[in-house]
Structures are given as structure tokens and as C-alpha cells.
Chains A and B, each alone.
Chain A
Amino acid sequence: MDRLLFGDNQFFGVNHMSEEKARAQAMRFQSVDAVMGVLDAAYDAGVRTFMCTTHDRVGEIADRVRLDRERYADFAFYPCMPYAHKYANAVTEDGMLGAVKRFLPGEGLMNAAIRGGSSMARKDIDGITTLLIDAEMKMFQGLRTPVVFLQNVIVDLLLGLGFNAAFRVFADHVRERYGAEPGFITMNLPALVPVLEAQGIEDPIVCSNINKLGFRMSGGVAAYERTLREHRFRAIAMSVFASGAIPAEEAIEWVCAQPNLESIVFGASSERNIRQTRDLVARHWDLQPVLA
């Protein structure tokens, strides 16, 4: 894994500080060209992994990358699925089962319907889960996706419910079908890691908020530090600036000092900020990728 990963919140109007900023970003990044401009700047600055939701618009970015394989030879996508709003809105409109039906992949509909339909009848989640994963992965066909993440909304929902077998289903399918490492995003790192261990998921990649403020580090900073020190997993830190609440230097210095951290995912909208973050991190870390 690269030590610096590029996130996508800024492209899709997600900002934890201000609706106004979120809207300004949504306007600025309405065109794929604007998004590609920033991704190119990141790529040229050596930040070559794009950790992104399976938003429809990411499909357009994937198309661009596919079209210019030479330029993007080292470009990797880390898809994070599912894009939850898509499903939440569908559930509101169609109810839960209606929503599942809506997202069955278009191609091989018969096959999908059988896998999905009979798995629904048996109340068996394997079929339907793998089906939804495949539907979300379609947009990345032919591209490098060495790590595939399950989004925090789903991870933490399953974790809270105690639906632990689903983590294993996800991990196995991602490894077998896509030759990728399974990743899990969570706002509850200390609670999640032991559950993944108990499911026999070896050395999972886990991405969570890790910042000096303790912002969205449920269970508290101390529990996070303990988890990082005492458990075997590959940790990625996100929200290291706590949405801008911590000054950049202070934020990076603190996070780079955390034990056993493998990568940092950050978002930025300009070449200047990308390079600034990269250079800050380079002062504390060797930026060579960590090999698994």
C-alpha cells in the first residue's frame, strides 16, 4: 500500500465543517474535467491511489483512466462500497427488498435473479452480498483495484447488529473474485478489530479516523492507541486534520507518530495543498510503499 492515499470527499460535496464549503466544492467539481485536473495533480505529485466511493461519477473517472493507460500506468483505485445514499434513497422509495432488487446487475439478469432470489428465500446473505459487490465493481472492470473497502455506514451497521459473518463473506469474495485485499472503514476501530480477528480475516486493512482531536474516534483516543499497538492489522488513518479543525503541521506530526500506521488518506482540492501535505508527511515518514 502507498503511504499516502487520495480521498474523494471534496469532489462530492462532503464537508464536515460547512454546508457552504460543501456546496462550493460540489459546484467546482461538477465537471469530470475539474476532478481529473486534481487527480492528475495528485498523480504527478506521487499520490497514485484514489480511494473513492462507488458514486456514479467515479464511473466516469474510471473511464478516463481506462482510456489513457500509459499516462495512468500506476494509478490504482481503492473502491469503497456501497455508495450508501444511493441505497438509502432507494429504500425510502421502494422499501428494503425493492431496493435490493433495483441494484441487481443488469447483465446476466437471470443468473443474478436466481442467485439473489433463491438466496433471499433461504435468508442466506452470501448470494445477495456477492451480487451487490459485483454490481458495485462493474465500473472498475479492467482497472487496478488492489484493495476493496466496505464503507463505514455498512461496516458499523453490521458491527452494531452483531452481523459478523458478513465481514467474512465480503473478505472472501473480494479476495477470490478480484484478487484484492479486503478493507474496512469504521468509526469504531477498537470494537471492530477484534471482531474481524474472530472471523479469521487475516491482516485486514482497516481505515478509521485517527486525529489529535479524537474527532469521531469512538471509544476514545486511548482505546485507539491500544488497538494500534496490540492488534495485527494494517491501519489507515483518515480525517487526520479533523476536517480542518487541527492545523496541518500539528495534525501530521501527531498522526505520523502513532504506532503501526501504514497509510494516511487525505483530500485536497488544489495542487498546492496536495504537495504541501505530501511534503509534511515526508518529513516524518519514508514515502516508499509498505509491502504487505
Chain B
Amino acid sequence: MTSTSRATRIAVAGIGKMGLSHLAIVNAQPDLEVAAVCDASGMVRGVLEKYTGVVTYDDYDRMLREVELDAVLIATPSRTHASMVRTALERGLHVFCEKPFTLAVQDATELTALARSKGLVTQVGYHNRFVGPFAEVKRLLDAGAIGTVTHALGEAYGPVVLKPKGGTWRSRKEEGGGALYDYAAHPLNLLNWYFGGATSVGGTVLRPIFSRETDDEVHSTIHFAGGESANISVNWSDESHRKMTTRMTIWGTAGRIFADRQEIQVFLRDGAAVPEGYERGWNVRYGTELTGGVGFYLRGEEYSAQIEHFAERVREGRTDGVNGFESAAETDRVIAMLIADAATAAPTLAPTPTATPMAGPRHAEVRRPRRRVRFPWGVPQPAVQLELREGS
């Protein structure tokens, strides 16, 4: 599609936690026009229709057939991404899709090729690439500031699953739930940005702590084509963090970089190719100076910046840019490698015995379980059974 002077007509599919914030940001963009939204929940549709006047659909395919659109933003549960993206591309629409892109590498590969063959603009919601300090890491690595990189540590911690529970799709693996898809995808995607696609992985641990079916903790060693190795350490049952925290530490022959959302700390050794604005030894720069402003702010500049980037690319018909399908497919690929690797070490799937003492205080409330749950590893968990009853 060539650039047009009128606003880009976009539909938002999936008005949940993520979709609602996307809808607000998209709606506030001067060059995007929300032409329709789609959600499975009648309550959500009703409230939005009544109070914001937006046109709503319960059926995605029908919405695409009936509404004149240039683009679509997909924020439905991850399992649905691939088919929704395919339908949109087949109709010639530009697509912004939430992460993870797909749950199957083959889908990711096919969709990337399909979008390319049609010359469509694609983007996936890996917002960390729009976080000032993480973008600065990329800039420093590209400039060779810390010499030859040998190793990296990507981390993500936060308080999502703090007790045995789970009534939403997030607690089901086949729907794309679990800390691997939800949390680990972010540092993995940054590693892909910095070092390209992974060549092999090893020692992968995908471990449930409180969840029944999905991993709450992810550890692995990943190797990249350039010879770099990386560890990832991810735990979404970590209440010591007020909210999700993503971090990256990178060691090179000429220095070391640490970055999170707030700041970047760079140590440059003698002999490092010191970039402008940096000096030998320690350098600290804050997100406040590294992050540019946005037209409309909701929950962090990066969420708005990625939408502004997408809108601009669509307006200009630019298929290159940050977070295209091809780059997100690399992350889908490494996720698949981790799953395959973890499966070869199945015993680590058993929940740690400390899960029971950690749930200790709740034991007092446990009445006689009505249902016995058989776990693959044969460890009955009273606290889990309590939650099963409550959840139904």
C-alpha cells in the first residue's frame, strides 16, 4: 500500500489487558483511526460501544470482511495469533501482532514469507526494543564498544503466579501460557536483537513452581552464530519485584554492559573503542535522557513509541523497521528450541519440594479435598486441590 494522506484505518482484535491499552494508544494517534474492535466478550463490547461509540464485532473474520481497513492490531491470546495474522495478510492488511508472534515455528516462517510477498508492514509487540537503555545497548554493540562479546545474561523477574491458581489462558500451555512465552520471550527477543538467531541451546529448565501445567521458571544456555553464549534466568513467581523487571548484562573483551528499563551502566576497559559521550571506566546513563517523548503516554514510552513506529511505517509503506515478523520469528524459533531441549530432561519438570512449604500458611485453610488430582510426577499437592475447587 502506498502512503496516503488520510488516517490509517485500523481494527483492534482482543480487548483484554493488553488490547485495552493498545486501543487507548492507537485511538490517541492523530494518524490512526480505529475503524472497529473485536472481542469475544459481550460485556467488553457492550461497555466500549456504549461509552466510546466504537463499532464492535464478536467475529474477527466478519469484521475483516465488512469493515474497510488498512491495518489490524492483534492482541488476542497467543494461540490465535497465527490464524488471525494469516487472514489479515491474505486480505492485504498491515499487521501489528502482540508477542509471542506464533506458537509454531512453521507458522512464523510461512507468515513472514506471506507478508513479504505482499509487501505488507508487519510488527510484533516486543516493546523492549523501544526502551531507551536497551536500544542504547544495541547501539553500543553495533559500534563494537565492548570489543568481542563472549557472554550475556538475560533476566526477567516479576510477581505473576504467586500461588497455585489459574483460571485464565495464561495457565494453559497449549494456549501460549507460562513464563517461557510470557516473560522469557522478552529477554530472548533482546538477545536475538543483539546477537541474531540462536544456533543451539542446552541445559534448559522449564519448571513449574505453583502452576499446574506451565513453567514458572526458565533457565537455559543459548549459543549464537557469532560465538556468543547467553544464559537466561526467568522467574515470574518472584514477589521481590514490584512489577516485571527485564535486565541484560553483556561481557565483552573490552568491557561490560548492564541495562534495565531505567538505566544503562557501561564499564569500558583500556583499549575499548570509546563511543562519543562515553569515557573509560564507568558510565551511567538514565532512561530519562535516553528515552524520547511520545505524543500520548499511557504506561511507559515504549508502548506508545512502538505504535508510533508502526503508524509511521504504514503511512510510508516501509517494510523495514524494528520488530518485523522476521525478527519475531527468530524468537519463536529459540522458544521452540528451549521446549525441545527441556523435554529431553523431563525430570526437571517436577515442582520443587519447596513449593509445598512456601504455600504453607494456606495449608491450614485446606479442607478435605473432594477431588484427587494425579500429577504426571505423582506428587499430590493439597494447596493445588484447594485452588481447583475454588476455581470451578
CB distance from A215 to the nearest CB of B (A): 5
Nearest A residue (CB) for B23: A161
Are the CB atoms of A97 and B296 closer together than 8 Å?
no
Q: What are 30 inter-chain pairs, A to B, with CB distance below 8 A?
A: A12-B242, A15-B262, A17-B287, A18-B262, A18-B263, A19-B262, A22-B242, A89-B160, A93-B161, A123-B43, A123-B46, A123-B47, A125-B47, A153-B299, A159-B24, A160-B23, A160-B28, A161-B20, A161-B24, A161-B52, A166-B51, A188-B28, A191-B28, A213-B288, A216-B301, A218-B294, A218-B295, A218-B296, A243-B288, A245-B288
A37 at the interface (CB under 8 A from B): no
Q: A13-B242, A16-B288, A97-B43 are in contact. Are A92 and B160 (CB under 8 A)?
A: yes
B53 at the interface (CB under 8 A from A): yes
What size tier do the contact residues of chain A reach? Answer: 35 or more
CB distance from B280 to the nearest CB of A (A): 22
Which of B57-65, B165-173, B331-339 forms contacts with chain A?
B165-173
Are the CB atoms of B53 and A162 closer together than 8 Å?
yes
CB distance from B283 to the nearest CB of A (A): 14
CA distance A156 to B27 in the complex (A): 12
CB distance from A104 to the nearest CB of B (A): 16
CA distance A93 to B294 in the complex (A): 30
Of A92, A156, A162, A242, the contact of B288 (CB 8 Å cutoff): A242
Write the B29-58 contact mask toward A (1 if CB under 8 angstroms, else 0). 000000000000101101110111110000
Are the CB atoms of A165 and B242 closer together than 8 Å?
no
Q: A92-B160, A157-B20 are in contact. Are A214 and B293 (CB under 8 A)?
A: yes
Chain A residues with CB under 8 Å of chain B are 12-19, 22, 26, 85, 88-89, 91-98, 120, 123, 125, 153, 156-163, 165-166, 187-188, 191, 213-220, 242-243, 245
CA distance A12 to B52 in the complex (A): 34
Interface of chain A, main secondary structure: helix
Write the B290-307 contact mask toward A (1 if CB under 8 angstroms, else 0). 000111111101000000
Chain B residues with CB under 8 Å of chain A are 16-17, 20-21, 23-25, 27-28, 41, 43-44, 46-48, 50-54, 159-161, 165-168, 170, 242-243, 245, 260-263, 286-289, 293-299, 301
Task: Please indicate the chain B residues that have their CB under 8 angstroms from the CB of A163 in the complex.
Answer: 51-52
CA distance A136 to B50 in the complex (A): 26
Are the CB atoms of A245 and B289 closer together than 8 Å?
yes
New A-B contacts (6) at CB < 8 Å, excluding given A89-B159, A95-B167, A163-B51: A12-B242, A18-B262, A18-B286, A88-B17, A156-B299, A187-B298
CA distance A96 to B242 in the complex (A): 20
Are the CB atoms of B296 and A191 closer together than 8 Å?
yes
CA distance A157 to B304 in the complex (A): 12
Of A97, A153, A220, A245, the contact of B293 (CB 8 Å cutoff): A220
CA distance A217 to B288 in the complex (A): 12
CA distance A160 to B307 in the complex (A): 13
CB distance from B284 to the nearest CB of A (A): 9
Task: Please indicate the chain A residues that have their CB under 8 angstroms from the CB of B21 in the complex.
Answer: 157
A-B pairs, top 8 by smallest CB distance, nearest first, are A160-B24, A187-B297, A123-B46, A218-B297, A160-B28, A162-B52, A245-B288, A161-B24
CB distance from A9 to the nearest CB of B (A): 11
CA distance A256 to B157 in the complex (A): 40
Task: Please indicate the chain B residues that have their CB under 8 angstroms from the CB of A242 in the complex.
Answer: 288
CA distance A14 to B17 in the complex (A): 22
CA distance A159 to B297 in the complex (A): 10
Q: A156-B24, A157-B24 are in contact. Are A188 and B168 (CB under 8 A)?
A: no
